[in-house]
Structure 1
Amino acid sequence: MTVTWTSGNTLELLENGEDFFPAVFDAIRQARHSVIIETFIIFEDKVGNELQQVLIEAATRGVHIEVTVDGYGSADLTPGYIQAMTSVGIGFHLFDPRPRRMGMRTNLFRRLHRKIVVVDGTLAFVGGINFAADHLADFGPTAKQDYAISIRGPLVDDVARLALEALTPVQPRISWWRLGKRGTAQSKNREGDDTQAALVLRDNDSHQNDIELHYRVGIRAAQRDITIANAYFFPGYRFLRDLRKAAQRGVRVRLILQGEPDMPIVRTATTMLYDYLLSAGVEIYEYCERPLHGKVATVDGIWSTVGSSNLDPLSLALNLEANVMIHDRAFSSHLQERLDSLITDYCQLMQRAPVSRRKIQRVFIGVFIFHFLRRYPAWAGWLPARKPLLKTMLPDVEQASEGKP
């Protein structure tokens, strides 16, 4: 679980696409050296099209650009969308693309679920927001509620290093100089907010449970309050036990979960945990305004996290994820205020089920659920773990020269 904590960072909370997209697009428009993007989803909608346009404009003025999308999450991108970028020199990569079977996507597990942007080695963005219009309120009732952060300071080095390492199989000779490393070194000398922060990963090599362990350390250290807002909540037994113990020792523990889920089966599974948590004094609130997509938490108004990791088996045991852990009273208190507002204005407090219903759940469902929660990390390790392919999409002229369609 060893990570590098850095001081002298300046972080800004970005809530939903209304904050996130303008900040990212403006940064790309001002880029001088490089832009690196890793994301689970790009859709060809008004957001994806604007992203494409600002990247093309940056590439035509000489900015080095690398974009990596997940082969499952972005499987519907058309060749024309990608070709428009590769034709101007943008590196465009698919993480583990797999053929469809009977029209179905087959690459379900071990996805690239991180959402990272690095501009000129001096500014980074990390969070849970994809490049899709459903992160904007004007999308309608199914628009997602989500969070990200912008980062300036030494932590940007760690984010950039992660992005570069991911590109090594296809771009082994990208240098820090080309990506604006000089700018990063200078950023360390500027005065920031002195926020302490660390980039924490989950991968299938040496960081298999780092994010979960950092959550659990924060929960066990809590003295006053814990607030977790997470879209897909189905963590392991030890995580649930830590939440119960925190509530039983007098910590106010609040969970903000989906009340209007984008996938109804997710809420069905999560509600199986309600009685176990509510019986220990954990408060559960369902966010009912629109689908919750956030992956954030605060502890005692001092510690907080923002990132891409859900608290479910896919994120905690299979996917590639990135969260920023933050130790800063001003930032954590601000995030806490935003979550308090969510609870007050848009959430419904859950109550314990009637005794008769609880007995039925314990007899017919409880044993299976908790045995699953105890064992899913080990089971996840049995799933196919072949080395994922990073496929670079070539401009048409290069594909033709190699005899590709």
Structure 2
Amino acid sequence: MNSAPVEKVAVEHIATDQPPQEANTRDLDYGWQPGNQIELLENGEAYFPKVFDALREARREILLETFILFEDKVGHELQGILIEAAQRGVNVVVSLDGFGCGELSPGFLGELAAAGVSVQIFDPASKTLGVRTNWFRRLHRKIVVVDATVGFIGGINFSADHLGDFGPEAKQDYAVQVTGPAVADLHHFALAQSGRQVRTRRGWRRRGQRPSLWAPGDGDGWVRLIYRDNLLHRSDIEEAYLHALRKAQQRVVIANAYFFPGYRLLREIRNAARRGVHVQLILQGEPDVLLAKLAARMLYDYLLKEGVVIHEYCERPLHGKVALVDDDWSTVGSSNLDPLSLSLNLEANVLIHDQGFNQQLYERLEVLSRNHCKTMPENRTPRGWLWRVTVGFMVFHVLRHFPAWIGGLPAHKPRLKPFIQQPRSQDHDPSPRG
């Protein structure tokens, strides 16, 4: 694919309760932006202070979207900061997923709305027999943009289980803070996805014009925003991984919580190892979802026999979604490498072309793999091998077609809906969780 220069445009937004035009909000294709500073943030201990400080300093606008927000110490601190920001005149827009945030009380949300925070729920749904049924097509992104000058993106939700003092179930995860020209892309995207109409003097990028997935030339701080939706960008994140794997010459490290990619991605991982690239996978050894570990293990033999090194992180649940290739390409974001993230959920990652950042991420992942992981043996023929291969074959093919089956079923089109504050008599006290 040929690279194309990023077109600079002036962007303004209009606060409205009406959904934006699809052409303005969903046909967005961002190019590489040079001259950025990228800071790796590992776990809630690094992420929450940075985000909260930026929110406290906001003067004009806060755009925040997250898959999970709990009413625990992290959620209550965030709520207080957003209320204070709205009360001092900051335009605050919060977009929450209806499934991931389905346990939030009306009282918690009502306090935000009463302070002037614009709260929107993606695909809200009532429980059926006490069970949430809106499982698929989730708003899984985690993005924060403050005053269009600083942006955060990664895999960390606003919940206390991203902090070490949560205990054995505390999650291991990553995000980045971005300052520089790429924040304009994050800002434009977050505005469009939040339901604010976005006007530009010219199109953000002409339809059909797809920039290269590799930054042109050398230089620190190149950043590109990529995302997947269920319209025109269904496979952009997967294509970015495929492109990077095909270009790999020295090393590949992928740390991903939910690993069950399709044939194309598995094949490129295998092919990279075959041609002598040192390929390491860091996957869950102590998963928060047992099925994730069982599914990933169905693929181990296919990869191990070709020289792929597989580590299972056993310290606590792995929740990260990061990767690096050679010494200059990295990605951090919300997308797992499983059918839900690659085929159904709304996701967003940044691609990073920065040798310093790449080395820092590599060193952090090396600490993880050397000190807190169990390495899978290259040649293993455990008891029940034939049964395991048979079951693995069946599971592999079922899950391979799972997204297409789900996508083919008659289904509604989830949308952001404003939270409507109920009369106070219907509110109830928040119940802290975690």
TM-score, normalised with respect to structure 1: 0.90
User: What is the match of residue 186 of structure 1?
Assistant: none
User: What is the match of residue 74 of structure 2?
Assistant: 47
AA aligned opposite 1:360: W
Whether contact under 8 Å (2:340, 2:403) holds in the other structure is no
Identity of aligned residues (%): 55
Cα shift at 1:32: 0.5
Cα shift at 1:157: 1.3
Q: Distance in 2 between matches of 1:380 and 1:196?
A: 36
Q: Distance in 2 between matches of 1:384 and 1:256?
A: 36
Q: Could you report, residue by residue, the CA deviation over 1:251-310 in whole angstroms, capped at 9, with x for unpaired residues?
A: 111000000000112111111111111111111000000000000001112100000000
Is 1:92 matched with 2:119? Answer: yes
User: What is the match of residue 182 of structure 1?
Assistant: none
Q: Could you report, residue by residue, the CA deviation over 1:100-121 in whole angstroms, capped at 9, with x for unpaired residues?
A: 1110000000000000000001
Whether contact under 8 Å (2:220, 2:353) holds in the other structure is no
Q: Distance in 2 between matches of 1:3 and 1:119?
A: 19
* Other structure's SS at 2:276 match: coil
- Out of 263, 266, 278, the position equivalent to 1:240 is 266
User: What is the match of residue 295 of structure 2?
Assistant: 269
User: What is the match of residue 4 of structure 1?
Assistant: 31
Q: Within 5 Å, which residues of 2 pair with 1:8-157?
A: 8-157=35-184
User: What is the match of residue 346 of structure 2?
Assistant: 320
AA aligned opposite 1:298: L
Q: Distance in 2 between matches of 1:93 and 1:358?
A: 49
AA aligned opposite 2:37: T
Change (3 A) 1:313 1:399: farther
* Other structure's SS at 1:94 match: strand
Q: Distance in 2 between matches of 1:107 and 1:399?
A: 27
Whether contact under 8 Å (1:40, 1:70) holds in the other structure is yes
- Number of residue equivalences: 380
Change (3 A) 1:355 1:136: closer
Q: Distance in 1 between matches of 2:251 and 2:280?
A: 8
Is 1:296 matched with 2:296? Answer: no
User: What is the match of residue 284 of structure 1?
Assistant: 310
Q: Distance in 1 between matches of 2:131 and 2:399?
A: 28
Q: Gapped runs of 5+ residues in structure 1?
A: 177-192, 401-405
* Other structure's SS at 1:8 match: coil
Is 1:256 matched with 2:282? Answer: yes
Q: Could you report, residue by residue, the CA deviation over 1:368-396 in whole angstroms, capped at 9, with x for unpaired residues?
A: 23433553443342144432132211345
Cα shift at 1:145: 0.2
User: What is the match of residue 408 of structure 2?
Assistant: 382
Cα shift at 1:360: 2.8
Q: Distance in 1 between matches of 2:74 and 2:199?
A: 30
Q: Distance in 1 between matches of 2:67 and 2:199?
A: 25
Is 1:202 matched with 2:257? Answer: no
User: What is the match of residue 374 of structure 2?
Assistant: 348
User: What is the match of residue 214 of structure 1?
Assistant: 240
* Other structure's SS at 2:110 match: helix
Q: Could you report, residue by residue, the CA deviation over 1:109-167 in whole angstroms, capped at 9, with x for unpaired residues?
A: 00000000000011000000000000000000000000000011111111111111122
Q: Distance in 1 between matches of 2:94 and 2:113?
A: 10
Q: Distance in 2 between matches of 1:301 and 1:353?
A: 32
Whether contact under 8 Å (2:298, 2:396) holds in the other structure is no
* Deviating more after overlay: 307-316 vs 384-393: 384-393
Whether contact under 8 Å (1:144, 1:290) holds in the other structure is yes
User: What is the match of residue 179 of structure 1?
Assistant: none
Q: Distance in 2 between matches of 1:355 and 1:123?
A: 51
* Deviating more after overlay: 112-121 vs 53-62: 53-62
Cα shift at 1:356: 5.4
Q: Distance in 2 between matches of 1:92 and 1:112?
A: 14
Whether contact under 8 Å (2:273, 2:306) holds in the other structure is yes
Q: Distance in 1 between matches of 2:410 and 2:313?
A: 35
Q: Distance in 2 between matches of 1:399 and 1:116?
A: 34
Bigger helix fraction: 1
CA RMSD, Structure 1 to Structure 2 (Å): 2.0
